[in-house]
A and B are shown apart, each in its own frame.
Chain A
Amino acid sequence: MNDSASIRVEVNNIDVCYGNKQIINQLSFTLSEGKIGCLLGPSGCGKTTVLRAIAGFERPSSGQVLISNQIVSDQKINLPPEKRHIGMVFQDFALFPNLTVQDNIVFGLKGWPKKDQQNRAIELLAMIGMPTLARAYPHQLSGGQQQRVALARAMAPKPSILLLDEPFSSMDVELREQLAREVRQLLKQENVTAILVTHDQNEAFAMADEICVMNEGQIQQHDTAYNLYHKPINRFVADFIGEGVIVPGMVVGGNTVNTELGNIHGLVPQGCKPGCQVDVLIRPDDIIHDDDSAETAIVVERAFRGSDFLYTLRMPSGIEVLSLVPSHHNHEINESIGIHLEFDHLVVFPRSH
């Protein structure tokens, strides 16, 4: 991740303010060539602002932005967007309604010979699976098609970096993940370096290689999807990513935490000495349903999700946890079911007040 030779985008300690309001606070990250990064966070966390600062639509009040090791923004320099060689896909696609699909795609190819423009358009139309729609107008296309045209238009000039601002938010929820996977495939095919902005973790997981979880103008954790889920570094990330409940506990030994669920064994992060008051994150997949188990819990709530049930279970101690169970285990509310706990590594935070 930090191989400086192939770093494509580098953001160093930027601040962005709107008027007196500071939106971005000393934010830094890097993205290597060919990687798909994602800025993930709740609305208002400043993720779109970061994207617009990279694009050149917002100017950071301090800090640096580098694209392909060239400074595009610092105290002195502020390259306008048209000089940054970026591609951008907008939330509302922003296709030019008066131009055909093909003319939209070649819009950014000014200065290219006509023949090359034509070839690039054909190539991209084939890539997005719309070879016959070159002469169509945007309003004749479905939302998904418009989105792919917007993507092709942004990719046409072979930009150094592709920026995608909530590109799936106007799509049907059921389509988003599938589209995100398709877009990922296209980007990987062309070896495009891209940054995606979204508030939807499923989109982020489906598309990105690495994810920056943002909150209140700062990056909380820059990591892979797997690590964000299983090794969140703070309570915000733990709450924001995935489902789970937080249970209070106390470290009793090297690898044991005593909680209301009993003693939980697993790797305790360094710095947590015996006697520490801690919070333990319990994911639904840490609670395994097992009909043979002596330990039982009562079903309080259940949500059928197709291939599995998400049960809310009340433990004998009164504490409620979530459990993900294959859906052929159909249990009624108030039924008592057998469970056992299975932790690979504990997610433990020092107790917050």
Chain B
Amino acid sequence: MAISIGKLWQPAIILVALVLSIPILTIGGFVFEPSGDNWEHLKQTVLPEYLRNSALLVLGVSIGTLSIGVSTAWLTAMCRFPGKKLFVWLLLLPLAMPAYIIAYTYTGLFDFAGPVQTQLREWTGWGYGDYYFPEIRSLGGAISMLSLVLYPYVYLLARAAFLEQSICVLEVSRTLGCGAWCSFYRVALPLARPAIVAGLSLALMETLADYGTVSYFGLGVFTTGIFRTWFGMGDSVAAAKMAALLLMFVFTLVVIERVSRKQAKYHHTTNKYTQLPEYQLLGFRALLAFFICLLPVLFGFLVPAGQLTSWALLTYQEMLNESFFRLTVNTLLLGLSAAFLSVLLALFLAYGKRMLGGRSVLVSIRIAAIGYAIPGTVVAVGIIIPFAWLDNTIDDFMRQLFDYSTGLLLSGSLFAVMFAYLVRFLAVSLQTVESGLGKIKPSMDDAARSLGYRPRETLFKVHMPLMKGSLLTALLIVFVDVMKELPATLILRPFNFNTLAVRAFELASDERLADSSTAALMIVVVGLLPVIYLSKSISQSRAGQSNHE
């Protein structure tokens, strides 16, 4: 019987991988599409600007996330100073803040009419034009916003690497006459480099995928370019070609990330961990460490969250109406269904990998999970093109045969939105489910069988209780990711169908910042849940302390 299931299972996994790679294959196919006049025009006019801006954005965010992420990771991993234990998880808070929300919050704060400049004028008596104030809606502003919310990727992986490295190598470098700083630069940093690079490439994937911030700041980069070309010029081919170009950069990052993660494995120096001896910081140095850790938390979370709260307090009575309720229900339903679907699919793939193994299954699962790197804009374009084609084909066919128009069955429906979420977030649920399944050693299955349990009973009595936590985590993370997702929802949602994220972004784009804050705050608060979970799990699994599984 097991064989007959296996026979269907493997092709099913390959099919899933194929279906989920439709967007990538579609976009990839446009590389070879003959270029139209629009493309030539774009190439001569805006494309160089997009390239330049994207490159500068990537460079700036790299510098920003690296300097914040690595310094805070080192301080919280290796040093002792007041508030350190708190900062370990406080530093994760900005993960809950979507970039587009922090962007318009700071715009409201730093605007000419915003509280900061108003206060400045009150104190100094300056008037309009009397002073220079940096423009937040600029490339530099976008770099700061993205760095503030994306540094946790670098922080998380770098800190884990610092904690995992054997204290022996650091002690060896000390005995060889290398001081604390020298040990950091010559030993710890090089050893943690693969992890740091992996964290950075994740942050840069998010940077390239960002639509909300750059569009709000009016910056011409790839994602905004795809939008303008598609909706402004109505040229799907040119938009898809631009998406293909973006995809190339993203794949470079994927390769860098995967290679780095592999190297990170080889850079493990030992499996023997002792308690890390922390450098006790005193006086000025402790104060400095305190502020280095405080600033990212302050500007990445506390200030914008405070501003959102104060706006929400002003406007919530008007905003909490029936349409807001509908938004919330929409968001909930969409998020929950996407979460359930993606966890179910992840279970199907993860169990397939466990039971079947084999190269074709492994490769298929890799392909199915590649979507985490693909910008939502690209996924959306890659979905809408084939879906529209399919819709038109069916429509033509039905009209010829039955003289009946089916209209747009797929491309204008929630089905398309849901599909985009699956492509984009399957990797998230898959990773969580796989790590949960990894904790159930095959010998536990055997133990249950030897104790008189049939395979199905083993599934219910052994796997279910052990997997429960991982499944809930996967549901939660996917739900929150869906709730925060902006560009794909914006493009693919059915007419007049709104979510909290879309509504917040639309209101903000209409300069109704205060009105958008209720929806935005809701996204941030719900987004805190997985961050809290994450901070709990990292504080429990510190290498060097007893964590016997």
Footprint of B on A, CB under 8 Å? 55-57, 80-88, 90-92, 94, 96-98, 107-108, 110, 139, 153-154, 157, 163
Contacts of A108 in B (CB 8 A): 450-452
Q: How far is the CA of A350 from the CA of B444 in the complex (A)?
A: 48
- Kindly supply a per-residue 1/0 record for chain B positions 361-376, scoring 1 wherever the CB is within 8 Å of any chain A CB and 0 otherwise: 0000000000000000
Given contacts A94-B441, A97-B466, contact A57 B451 (CB under 8 A): no
B447–A94 CB distance below 8 A: yes
Which residues B414-471 have CB closer than 8 A to chain A? Answer: 439, 441, 443-444, 446-454, 461-462, 465-466
Is A80's CB under 8 angstroms from B449's CB? yes
Interchain CB contact under 8 A, B443 and A92: yes
Chain A residues within an 8 Å CB radius of B439: 97
For B442, the closest partner residue in chain A by CB is A94
- Cβ of B450 and Cβ of A96 under 8 Å apart? no
Of A80, A96, A107, A157, which contacts B466 at CB under 8 A? A96
Give the residues in chain B near A97, CB-CB below 8 Å. Answer: 439, 466, 549
- Is B548 interfacial (CB 8 A cutoff)? yes
Q: Judging by beta carbons under 8 Å apart, are A57 and B548 in contact?
A: no
CB distance from B76 to the nearest CB of A (A): 26
On whether the beta carbons of B548 and A82 are closer than 8 Å, the reply is no
A91 to B443, CA, bound (A): 8
Which residues of the other chain, B, contact A56 by a CB distance below 8 angstroms?
449
Known: A83-B452, A94-B441. 7 other contacts (CB 8 A): A82-B452, A90-B447, A94-B447, A97-B466, A107-B451, A139-B548, A157-B452
Number of B residues, CB within 8 Å of A? 19
Q: Given contacts A57-B446, A90-B443, are A80 and B452 in contact (CB under 8 A)?
A: no
Complex: how many Å from CA A153 to CA B454? 17
Q: Which residues of B contact A (CB under 8 A)?
A: 439, 441, 443-444, 446-454, 461-462, 465-466, 548-549
> Once the chains are docked, how many angstroms separate the CA of A137 from the CA of B356?
32
CB of A282, distance to nearest CB on chain B (Å):
41
Considering only CB atoms, which chain B residue lies closest to A146 in the complex?
B548
B450–A154 contact, CB under 8 A? Answer: yes
**From B443, B453, B462, residue with most partner A Cβ within 10 Å:** B443
Chain A residues with CB below 8 A from B453, complex form = 82, 110
Closest 10 CB pairs between A and B? A108-B451, A94-B443, A81-B449, A88-B450, A94-B447, A90-B443, A94-B444, A82-B452, A82-B449, A98-B465
What are 16 A-B residue pairs whose CB atoms fall within 8 Å in the complex? A55-B450, A81-B446, A82-B451, A82-B452, A82-B454, A84-B450, A86-B450, A87-B450, A90-B446, A92-B441, A92-B443, A96-B447, A97-B439, A98-B465, A110-B452, A157-B452
User: Chain B residues near A82 (CB, 8 Å)?
Assistant: 449-454
Q: B451's closest neighbor in chain A, by CB?
A: A108
The answer to whether B448 and A107 have CB atoms under 8 Å apart is yes
> Within 8 Å CB of B441, what residues of A?
92, 94
Whole-angstrom distance from the CB of A266 to the nearest CB of chain B?
A: 47
Contact pick for B447, options A88, A110, A139, A157, CB 8 Å: A88
CA distance A83 to B450 in the complex (A): 8
Decide: A88 near B446, CB < 8 A? Known: A97-B466, A139-B548. yes
CA distance A310 to B451 in the complex (A): 46
Cα of A53 to Cα of B83 in the assembled complex, Å? 58
Q: In the complex, what's the smallest C-beta–C-beta distance from A133 to chain B, in angstroms?
A: 15
Task: Determine which residue in B439, B444, B447, B450 has the highest number of CB atoms from chain A within 10 A of its CB, and name it.
Answer: B450
Chain A residues near B454 (CB, 8 Å)?
80, 82
Scoring B449, B454, B465 by chain A CB atoms within 10 A of each residue's CB, the highest score goes to B449
Contact B451 A157 (CB under 8 A): yes
CB of A153 within 8 A of CB of B444, answer: no
Tell whether A94 pairs with B446 under 8 Å between CB atoms, given A139-B548, A139-B549. yes
> In the complex, A157→B443 CA distance in Å?
19
A249 to B324, CA, bound (A): 98
Report the minimal beta-carbon distance from A123 to chain B, rounded to whole angstroms.
17
> A153: shortest Cβ distance to chain B, in Å?
7
Distance to closest chain B CB from A54 (angstroms): 11
Give complex CA distance A97, B470 in Å. 14
Return A161 CB to nearest CB of chain B, in Å.
11
Q: In the docked arrangement, what's the CA distance between A108 and B454, Å?
A: 12
Nearest-CB residue, chain A, relative to B452: A82
CB distance from B471 to the nearest CB of A (A): 14
Bound together, the chains give a CA A84 to CA B453 distance in angstroms of 11
Docked Cα-Cα span, A108 to B450, in Å, equals: 8
Nearest-neighbour CB distance to chain A for B11, whole angstroms, equals 21
Residues from chain A with Cβ under 8 Å of B451 in the complex: 82, 87, 107-108, 153-154, 157
A139 to B446 CA separation, bound complex (whole angstroms): 20
Q: Which residues of A contact B548 (CB under 8 A)?
A: 139
A107 to B454, CA, bound (A): 13
User: When chains A and B are docked, how far (Å) is the Cα of A86 from the Cα of B309?
Assistant: 63
Shortest distance in angstroms between B441's beta carbon and chain A's nearest beta carbon? 6
Of all chain B residues, the one with the shortest Cβ separation from A52 is: B446
Min CB distance, B463 to chain A, in Å?
11
Residue ID in chain A nearest B546 by CB atoms: A139
Q: Which of B439, B447, B454 has the most CB of A within 10 A?
A: B447
Across-interface contacts of B461 in A (CB, < 8 A) = 107
In the bound complex, CA of A290 to CA of B330 (Å): 94
Q: In the complex, are the beta carbons of A96 and B443 less than 8 A apart?
A: no
In angstroms, how far is the closest chain B Cβ from the Cβ of A251?
51
For residue B447, which residues in chain A have a CB less than 8 angstroms away from its CB?
88, 90, 94, 96, 153
Q: How far is the CA of A153 from the CA of B448 in the complex (A)?
A: 10
What chain B residues lie within 8 Å of A85 (beta carbons)?
452
A80 to B452, CA, bound (A): 9
In whole Å, how far is A137's beta carbon from the nearest beta carbon of chain B?
11
Contacts of A98 in B (CB 8 A): 465-466
Residues of chain A lying within 8 A (CB to CB) of residue B466: 96-98
Cα-based distance from A294 to B449 in the complex (angstroms): 65
Q: How far apart are the CA atoms of A56 and B466 in the complex, in Å?
A: 25
Q: A96–B549 contact, CB under 8 A?
A: no
Nearest to A108 among chain B residues (CB) is B451
Chain A proximity of B221: nearest CB distance (Å): 48
